Amino acid sequence: MTRPLASLLLTAGLVLGGCTLAPEYLQPQPPIETTWPQADTVATVEPQAPLAAELNWQNFFADTKLRQVVALALESNRDLRLASLNVERARGLYGIQGSELYPTLDATGAYSKQRLAQSASFGGSQVMESYAVNFGVSAWEIDFFGRIRSLKAQALEAFFASEEARRGGQISLIAEVARTYLTLAADQENLQLAQATLATRQQSYAMIQKSFDIGYATELDLRQAQIPLEAARLDLARFTQLVAQDKNALTLLAGGKVAEQLLPANLAGVAAPAEISAGLPSEVLLQRPDILAAEHQLKGAYAFLGAARAAFFPRISLTGLLGSASGELSGLFGAGSQTWLFSPSLTLPIFDARTWAAHRVSQTDRDIALAQYEKTIQTAFREVADALAVKSTIDQQLLAQQGLVTATAEAERLAKLRYEHGLDNYLGVLDAARALFTAKQGLVALRLAKLTNQVHLFAVLGGGAALPQVATAIE
């Protein structure tokens, strides 16, 4: 009576150690150059600096307040929370698919009571009772050709891809919080510049008003002085709006209101991030979470192709029961009441157009996953190359812009002197003041561009990718 159950367990051991029909996975050659496009660009990054993937965000950001805001976002951001829940969901689906490899053991108990009508054979009516207890396996598919194992492998790769997507989302969140924080700092500085400019132009307008009142200045001078005054008021309102919007964006990213003491006063007060090394494309890009996620999707497509191949082969299912049955409850476990059932079944596919179509779809899915993987690598390469191109020229732009600010400030001073001595009209002062304000705004914009590009470079180089891995922990 125990031979069928023993055979069942032996078969299970053989199946769980079997093979699959999935094609062997070989990592594709990255469709990118072995070096970054501009040699002088890479030279601008200090070679002794660490790789971005080796540097966590706490060490990358030197500003204490910014680190606190980033930590708040990592704890409370809802998008990141959804990504973490998707990882848990993928983990659960993997567990469900993996459980298909093992038989489901059930214990059932049954009781029936039936009244039979009167008959010539038995005379009067009879009441019959039946008791039964069974323990066994029902319709368990033996995975000889690896169909279920291939589906399990696909679910595992989907789980890994979801984890990499979460890590990628975390890096993107860190970079976006830093960018918004720096943008807020720049807009705060522009707001302060607009306030100072408004105060200066109010003084100039008041001076022209007095000159006009005594007949020294013309009405044209007065109206020309009013133009930059109104423009300064407009700039003040505009930057007040931008600062409010930046705070709203930071609140959304952080998952809650950020304390005022953590907000930046201006861009000059924010400490610059650490320097990082670009490394080689093959070293850094293949460790980016989005590229790893695309590779796991590709591996999953290989596994699904194995399941599609296995569908062409026979399926063997087993049902095995061991139990006891009796007409009386007291004799349920007595001698002679034991029962057993051993029922294997074989399904041999002869022709099913759906199976052939599914196989073609699985091949196409693999090709699509490969193309997506290669495109992800190429996109990452361009992102890094663009960030390095900015890094190689931003210092020269800043130097030139600083020179422009100095020159326009001197031009404004000279224009005021010429007007005060009656050598020129107020239009020259107006043009010089407008040029100085624009030059100062440009300087703030370039300083912001340098800091945000450093953050962007950290992210596109896989910054923070050296986080705990789960790929080996689940198997």
- Tell me what the mean pLDDT of segment 57-71 comes to: 93
Gyration radius from the chain CA atoms:
37
Is pLDDT above 90 for 51?
no
Q: What pTM did the predictor assign?
A: 0.83
Q: Which of 112-121, 199-208, 221-230, 252-261 has the lowest mean pLDDT?
A: 112-121
Is pLDDT above 50 for 353?
yes
9, part of any domain: no
Domain that holds residue 82: 31-101+143-313+354-460
Residue 313: alpha-carbon gap to chain centroid? 39
pLDDT in tens, 130-184: 777 777 777 777 887 888 888 888 899 999 999 999 999 999 999 999 999 999 9
Is pLDDT above 80 for 60?
yes
Q: What is the pLDDT of residue 14?
A: 46
- Tell me what the mean pLDDT of segment 43-58 comes to: 72
69, part of any domain: yes
Mean per-residue pLDDT of the chain:
83
Q: What is the pLDDT of residue 292?
A: 93
125, part of any domain: no
Is pLDDT above 60 for 8?
no
Give residue 139's identity as a one-letter amino acid code. A
pLDDT in tens, 66-109: 999 999 999 999 988 888 888 888 888 888 888 877 777 777 77
5, part of any domain: no
Q: Which of 171-175, 221-225, 230-234, 261-265 has the lowest mean pLDDT?
A: 221-225
Q: What is the pLDDT of residue 15?
A: 47
pLDDT in tens, 271-318: 999 988 888 887 788 889 999 999 999 999 999 898 888 888 888 887
Split at pLDDT 50, 70, 90, the class of 5 is very low
- Higher per-residue pLDDT: 17 or 457: 457
Tell which residue, 185, 197, 183, 193, has the closest CA to residue 441. Answer: 193
- Give helix 147-213 / helix 219-254 axis angle, nearest 10°: 160
25, part of any domain: no
Runs of H (alpha helix) within 77-146: 78-99
Secondary structure of 357-404 in HEC code, one letter for each residue? HHHHHHHHHHHHHHHHHHHHHHHHHHHHHHHHHHHHHHHHHHHHHHHH
Give the CATH number of the domain where residue 83 resides: 1.20.1600.10
Question: How many structural domains are present in the chain?
Answer: 1
Split at pLDDT 50, 70, 90, the class of 430 is confident
CB 314 within 8 Å of CB 344: no
Split at pLDDT 50, 70, 90, the class of 332 is low
19, part of any domain: no
Split at pLDDT 50, 70, 90, the class of 16 is very low
- Measured in degrees and rounded to the nearest 5, phi and psi for residue 343 equal -135, 90
Q: What is the pLDDT of residue 460?
A: 92
- Tell me what the mean pLDDT of segment 311-330 comes to: 75
- Higher per-residue pLDDT: 233 or 140: 233
Is pLDDT above 80 for 360?
yes
Split at pLDDT 50, 70, 90, the class of 3 is low
Tell which residue, 218, 163, 230, has the closest CA to residue 194. Answer: 230
133, part of any domain: no
Q: What is the pLDDT of residue 119?
A: 62
d(CA 100, CA 104): 9
Tell which residue, 60, 2, 6, has the closest CA to residue 466. Answer: 60
Of all residues in the chain, the percent with pLDDT exceeding 70 is 87
Q: What is the pLDDT of residue 471?
A: 42
CB 212 within 8 Å of CB 221: yes
331, part of any domain: no
